Amino acid sequence: MAKKPGPSGSGKTPTGKNTSGRGQRDLKVKVKSARGRTTSSTRWLQRQLNDPYVKRARAEGYRGRAAFKIMELDDKYRFLVPGARVVDLGCAPGGWCQVAVKRVNALDERSGKAVGTILGVDLQEMEPIAGCTLHQLDFMEDDADLKVKDWLGGQADVVMSDMAASSSGHKQTDHMRIIALCEAAAYFAFDVLEEGGTFVAKVLAGGAEGDLQKLLKQRFKKVANFKPPSSRSDSSEKFVVATGFKG
């Protein structure tokens, strides 16, 4: 987890390297504009190249910086336990699944620990991940939830959703779309979670998430909102974590 600078102003990046000692300076990669590339895409590329979590993901073999978000969420709320049965909705490119494999012991690498199960679903086709069962599916199509329940073949301990619609460029429209995805994931969770189970979903702050919160509070003992340190400060994303499913 990223550490905040101490009183002296010193601190470390997620790579563990001190960036604020005397005589040091940040060496940022600058991206020049190119023909056919928009200003916004140039900015995005420059941000990616200089993002310490992107660099750390590459170094540690994760498929994206989102892996650190689920790590930080689980470090705080402890839902990815050995033996847990997990459904990951919107799992591409696979960072959350990679983290879950280790934490629920899906590959049975820790002797004496219960072996977990991970089912990942996404609209995009994905490269296989050892310890996971992956399916390509649009979760918003008719009867998609029934297909996932059939693949699961039983109850789940955790339903987590990182689903997000393609950006329209209109903040309120994007907010409403992601809330609709969260609600669909929540209703699916109501169907498949074991009593005491956990639901985790990404939302975008924007006002409409209040109804989702009320819905979850009716079905879970505790509902919390958390913005992981690895979530970019300029992003409106946060995560809702509902624990203790009432059944």
Centre a 10 Å sphere on the Cβ of residue 94 and count the other Cβ atoms it contains: 24
Q: How many CA atoms lie within 13 A of 98 on its CB side?
A: 18
162 among annotated binding-site residues: yes
Distance CA 56, CA 61 (A): 8
Distance CA 113, CA 105 (A): 7
- Asked if 167 and 215 count as a contact pair (C-beta separation under 8 A), the reply is no
191 among annotated binding-site residues: no
Q: Where are the beta strands (DSSP E) in 97-219?
A: 117-122, 133-136, 156-161, 193-204
12 as an active site residue: the answer is no
94 among annotated binding-site residues: yes
Distance CA 225, CA 91 (A): 21
CA angle 76, 77, 82 (to 5 degrees): 110
Centre a 10 Å sphere on the Cβ of residue 37 and count the other Cβ atoms it contains: 13
The verdict on whether omega for the bond into residue 93 sits within 30 degrees of 0, i.e. cis, is yes
Instruction: Considering the candidates 17, 32, 202, 227, report the single residue annotated as catalytic.
Output: 202
- Phi first, then psi, for residue 242 (nearest 5°) are -110, 120
Cα–Cα distances in angstroms (integers) from residue 185 to residues 11, 90, 179, 205, in the given order: 38, 10, 10, 17
Known binding-site residue numbers for S-adenosyl-L-methionine: 94, 96, 122, 138, 162
Active site residue ranges: 202
- Bind-site residues: 94, 96, 122, 138, 162
